[in-house]
Structure 1
Amino acid sequence: MQTIRLETRIAAPALRCFLLSLNIDLVMNTTARTRERAIAGVTHGLIGAGESVTWEGRHFGLRVRHTSKIVSYEPPSFFCDEMTAGIFRSFRHEHHFAESDGETVMRDVLEFAAPLGLLGRLAEWLVLRNYMHDFLVERNAMIKQVAESDRWRRYLQ
């Protein structure tokens, strides 16, 4: 199992950052490279407690589906999604938000494990860890960009 910890500082209120992170349309816009799209469950707008979304995108040249459910929801400081179906053996993503010195500290804790035993663990270390880290960095950069501009109004009405 791999754990990725990432911290992003955003000059915007925690509630705004929290809600933008739950916005399906914004997530789709942050993943243009992999052409992620929501195909089942909540497919537009905000996803909330107990709700699920199925994503489909291209990773490593393959079309991949991943279904996750919001299993914990404590606005504006925390939510957690867990995989309910997909290619990983396990996948859990915690999203933490705390205001400090006039900005929001957004912390991600992503824990995942690949299938296929030893081969999967090797793939985690050689490829998946960096791939997932870069995926989160790209996503968080877009959330930061939107939250710090007037563009957040397009997603949160």
Structure 2
Amino acid sequence: MPVINLQTYINAPVEDCFNLSRSVDMHLQSMQSHQEKAIAGITTGLMNLQDTVTWKATHFGLPFKMTVQITEMRYLEYFVDQMVSGPFKWFRHYHAFQAKGNGTLMLDEFVFKSPLSWLGKLVDRWVLKTYLHNLLQQRNEVIKQAAENVANTIRRADEYQHPMC
């Protein structure tokens, strides 16, 4: 099975990164170019353990529906979402968060398998792995920008209230 591993450093607190990563609204923002919509389950706000969401999106010019569930979660450390139904034979996305200096190291491990036996293996290796890697990087960049904007706004407000003499 193909595995995609990403590391994204974000200059923001773990809590902000963790919450933005499980936000349906943030996911929708990061996938605007794919006309993604949340159509069932949790359709707005933060997902928690055992919550499901059904996504409707367009990829490769084709409409897709996929339902995922948060199957594991340890607050501020990690969560896992897995496909319940959809176009893959199987997928599991592990999201981990580690405090690093004044920021957060966000780790992703995305493991997936397409249907269609040997043809699915070829599609996974030659098409989907790169496509999904780019999709996850795009998503992480939107999370990074949002978290760092929030963190910078809070820092500026704190400096305003407590100016250095």
TM-score under structure 1 length normalisation:
0.95
Aligned to 1:98: 98
Query: How many percent of aligned residue pairs carry the same amino acid?
Result: 39
Paired letter, 2:76: P
Q: Structure 1 residues 64 and 96, CA, compared in 2 at 3 Å: closer, same or farther?
A: same
Displacement of 1:145: 0.1
Alignment of structure 1 residues 63-78 onto 2, 5 Å = 63-78=63-78
Q: Give unpaired runs (5+ residues) of structure 1.
A: none
In the alignment, the residues of structure 1 paired with residue 63 and residue 110 of structure 2 have an alpha-carbon distance, to the nearest angstrom, of 22
Q: Which has the higher helix share?
A: 2
Identify if the C-alpha distance between structure 1 residues 67 and 5 changes in structure 2 by more than 3 Å, giving closer, same or farther. same
Which structure has the larger Rg over C-alpha atoms?
2
- Find the aligned partners of 1:120 and 1:60 in 2 and give their Cα distance: 16
So what's the TM-score if we normalise by structure 2? Answer: 0.90
Q: Return the offset for 1:150.
A: 2.9
What SS does the corresponding residue of 2:150 show, helix, strand or coil?
A: coil
Distance (whole Å) between structure 1 residues aligned to residue 5 and residue 152 of structure 2: 25
Question: RMSD of the alignment, in Å?
Answer: 1.4
Give 1:10-29 correspondences, 5 Å limit: 10-29=10-29
CA contact (8 A) 2:12 2:151 kept: no
Distance 1:43 1:97 in 2: 24
When the two structures are aligned, how many residues end up with a matched partner?
153
Give how far 1:125 is off: 0.8
- Give, as a single letter, the amino acid of the residue that structure 1 aligns with 2:18: F
Map 1:3-152 → 2, pairs under 5 A:
3-150=3-150
- Runs of 4+ in structure 1 deviating by more than 6 angstroms, as ranges, are none
Write the distance in 2 (CA, Å) between the matches of 1:102 and 1:18. Answer: 15
Query: 1:103 offset after TM fit, Å?
Result: 1.1
Amino acid at match of 1:118: W
User: Residue by residue, what CA displacement relative to the aligned partner does 1:5-53 show, whole Å, maximum 9, x if unpaired?
Assistant: 0000000011110000011011000001111110000000111111000
State how far apart, in whole Å, the 1-side matches of 2:152 and 2:108 are: 20
